[in-house]
Amino acid sequence: MGISVSPSAANVIAISGLAERSPVYIGPVWNGPYAVITSVVLIGVLFGMQWLGWV
């Protein structure tokens, strides 16, 4: 998820070229909410698994 918000990542640079936007804009603004939501969900799932005794 860190790579998706990094302006120097190859995928962000490629998309910024296609969208004709700056990689500094594409990484944090477009991918930032995705990274935050995904991190929160992942942490919730892991805590839930631990609470249920699956981990």
pLDDT of residue 3: 87
CB 39 within 8 A of CB 31: no
Contact 7, 26 (CB under 8 A): yes
Of residues 7, 5, 1, the one with CA closest to residue 23:
7
pTM to 2 decimals?
0.77
Residue in 2, 29, 36 with CA at minimum distance from that of residue 15? 29
> Can you give the pLDDT at residue 39?
95
- What is the per-residue pLDDT for 55? 82
Digitized pLDDT (tens) for each residue of the chain, 55 residues in all? 888 899 999 999 999 999 999 999 999 999 999 999 999 999 999 999 999 999 8
* Cα–Cα distance for residue pair 23/29, rounded to 1 Å: 10
